[in-house]
Homo-oligomer: A and B are copies of this chain.
Amino acid sequence: MEQYESYKNKMRQIADINGAISVLAWDKEVNLPKKGAAARSQQMATLSGMAHELFTAADFGQELTALIESNNLTPEQHQNVVLTLKDYNKSTKLPTEFVIRRSQVVSEAYHAWIEAREANDFGVYKEDLKKIVGIARETAELFGYEDHPYDALLDMYEPNAKTADLTVLFKDVREQLVNFVKILKEKSQVENDFLSKSYDKDKQWNFGLELLKNMGYDFDAGRQDISAHPFTITFAPTDVRVTTRVDEHDLGNMTWSCIHEGGHGLYEQGLSWDYYGLPLGEACSLGIHESQARMWENNVGRSQAYWQAHYSDLQAVFSENLKDISPSDFYKGINQIAPNAIRTEADELHYHFHVLIRFEIEKELMEGTLEVDDLDKVWNQKYAEYMGIEIKDDRQGILQDIHWSHGSIGYFPTYSLGSFYAAQFFAQAQKDMPDLIQEISEGNSSNLLSWLRQNIHQHGRYFTPEELCMKITGEKLNFKYFMDYAKQKFGAIYGI
């Protein structure tokens, strides 16, 4: 089919440009000399403009519609074109005037956020954040929605996610998880001081590389580097880069950054090169992406079985620091549950309180029932209520995240969705592979990776997150799996 080939070539051309932008973005975070920033921004903007122009060309929508109506496509081809048309409609619903205005608002908000953080004063950022919220509301109106304006934003990150469903989900988080954590708090705390001893950075780096190799991350199709904030970025499924950071006095930072980004990286390496540039060659959603990272980081990487396989190696590398730490002490220590004002430093359970708070705030901002002026107070109240934490200043509070300053509203929920999907998928994987935990305890996660490739990676965007979850587990996302996992794991650790 000539028409489909022409569609495919166009999509690949756009993917080539986007792949180049990703190389520039990666280099920016990993290598860029200070003075190179201005030229780099300009080069990335030029390429982005060219990709956008190609994608939103006036006749492309008609071509896509004609392709769909031709009834001449395989199911996979059909799905590619349908999803491309969805993306196209989204892209073309935003008038150029709005796109330019939005990019100005975002650019100014980002700088205001930086300044506000330096000044440790939410006041400096307030007016810009109001504009960001205004832009988000406009975006929702331009995209359109049936039930809730927030739905239009969620759909950008988690296709078909609904505010109503998330409201139910986060009600469960608020009720069940908050209560469970209260019970844990009454038990005596586990010790994790050993994680902040001095750990040689080169040795940490090498150990992290070994963990990545062991997971199955393909170093012939990627590499690891250092950056201020760990991330995963894809140039093609044959070149997926991960980064980590290494802090001499925080062994945990390097270890679970590597495993987390490794999980993202395995997903991207598992996408299809044949579908390069097409929706079926792209990840399903941010939530599903996060599920891959979280499953490796937590369900696998903080499990007793995993460290049964790897702790003796770690102990051998850092014998001075770890010789008196038993495997059981280590396992407990790396799973300490303790509240923290900062989301990115949260433990596996408290993390979802952070997301819950952001979800509630974003939803109300979109409804117009909450205004930016009161946001720091609301923020601090919620932290006091859900976590019993007193927020001491704005930098530790409402100014901690970059997301809103980037214009990203509707993004945060995908973090929790990731963990909840991870728990549900991992429960299913254990059902499907009764020897899985045994294998992991022997340092062998290859069957898990095959299961993920088979059930998740290979499908790209063919299914929506909900369809994928149904297909794999026979039911929709169900918070029960996460709570069961949490109760079993932390109940045992804290002796409940």
Query: Given A27-B27, A239-B40 in contact, is the A47-B35 Cβ separation under 8 Å?
Result: no
A17 CB contacts on chain B under 8 angstroms: 43, 46-47, 50
Q: Which of A123-131, A220-228, A246-254 contacts B (4 or more CB under 8 A)?
A: A220-228
User: A14: nearest residue on chain B (CB-CB)?
Assistant: B46
Q: A236: CB under 8 A from chain B?
A: yes
User: A26: nearest residue on chain B (CB-CB)?
Assistant: B27
Query: Given A23-B24, A33-B222, A219-B33 in contact, is the A238-B16 Cβ separation under 8 Å?
Result: no
Inter-subunit contact A239/B36 (CB<8 Å): yes
Inter-subunit contact A236/B27 (CB<8 Å): no
Q: Measured between C-beta atoms, what is the minimum distance from A282 to chain B in Å?
A: 15
Distance between Cα atoms of A45 and B9 in the complex (Å): 13
A23 CB contacts on chain B under 8 angstroms: 20, 23-24, 27, 43
Q: A383: CB under 8 A from chain B?
A: no
Inter-subunit contact B223/A39 (CB<8 Å): no
Q: Measured between C-beta atoms, what is the minimum distance from A277 to chain B in Å?
A: 10
User: A39: nearest residue on chain B (CB-CB)?
Assistant: B236
User: A37: nearest residue on chain B (CB-CB)?
Assistant: B238
Number of A interface residues at 8 Å Cβ cutoff, please give it: 37
Q: Provide the A3-32 mask, 1 if CB < 8 A to any CB of B, else 0.
A: 000000000110011011101100100011
Distance between Cα atoms of A272 and B187 in the complex (Å): 66
A311 CB contacts on chain B under 8 angstroms: none
Q: A34: CB under 8 A from chain B?
A: yes
A45 CB contacts on chain B under 8 angstroms: 16
In A36-63, which residues have CB < 8 Å from any B CB?
36, 38-40, 42-43, 45-47, 50
- The majority secondary structure among interface residues of chain A is helix
A411 CB contacts on chain B under 8 angstroms: none
Most chain B Cβ neighbours within 10 Å, of A23, A47, A236: A23
Distance between Cα atoms of A39 and B221 in the complex (Å): 11
A490 CB contacts on chain B under 8 angstroms: none
A359 CB contacts on chain B under 8 angstroms: none
Inter-subunit contact A20/B47 (CB<8 Å): yes
Query: Given A36-B235, A43-B235 in contact, is the A20-B31 Cβ separation under 8 Å?
Result: no
A38 CB contacts on chain B under 8 angstroms: 236, 238
Q: A218: CB under 8 A from chain B?
A: yes
Q: A276: CB under 8 A from chain B?
A: yes
Inter-subunit contact B35/A220 (CB<8 Å): yes
Distance between Cα atoms of A47 and B219 in the complex (Å): 26
Contact with A50, one of B32, B33, B50, B239 (Cβ below 8 angstroms) = B50
Query: Given A23-B23, A24-B23 in contact, is the A16-B35 Cβ separation under 8 Å?
Result: no
Inter-subunit contact B39/A238 (CB<8 Å): yes
A276 CB contacts on chain B under 8 angstroms: 39
Distance between Cα atoms of A135 and B224 in the complex (Å): 42
Distance between Cα atoms of A120 and B221 in the complex (Å): 31
Distance between Cα atoms of A34 and B238 in the complex (Å): 9
Inter-subunit contact B33/A223 (CB<8 Å): yes
User: A32: nearest residue on chain B (CB-CB)?
Assistant: B239
A13 CB contacts on chain B under 8 angstroms: 46
Distance between Cα atoms of A23 and B46 in the complex (Å): 14
Inter-subunit contact A16/B36 (CB<8 Å): no
User: A19: nearest residue on chain B (CB-CB)?
Assistant: B43
Q: Measured between C-beta atoms, what is the minimum distance from A118 to chain B in Å?
A: 22
Q: Measured between C-beta atoms, what is the minimum distance from A29 to chain B in Å?
A: 13
> 11 interchain pairs (CB within 8 A)?
A12-B46, A19-B43, A23-B23, A33-B218, A33-B219, A33-B220, A36-B238, A36-B239, A38-B238, A43-B236, A47-B47
Which 7 A/B pairs are nearest by Cβ-Cβ distance?
A36-B239, A39-B236, A16-B46, A35-B238, A35-B221, A16-B43, A34-B220
Which chain A residues have a beta carbon within 8 Å of chain B's beta carbons?
12-13, 16-17, 19-21, 23-24, 27, 31-36, 38-40, 42-43, 45-47, 50, 218-223, 235-236, 238-239, 273, 276
Given A13-B46, A33-B221, A43-B235, 20 other A-B contacts at CB below 8 A? A16-B47, A17-B50, A19-B39, A19-B43, A20-B23, A20-B47, A23-B27, A23-B43, A33-B218, A33-B220, A34-B220, A35-B239, A36-B221, A36-B222, A36-B235, A36-B236, A36-B238, A38-B238, A40-B236, A47-B47
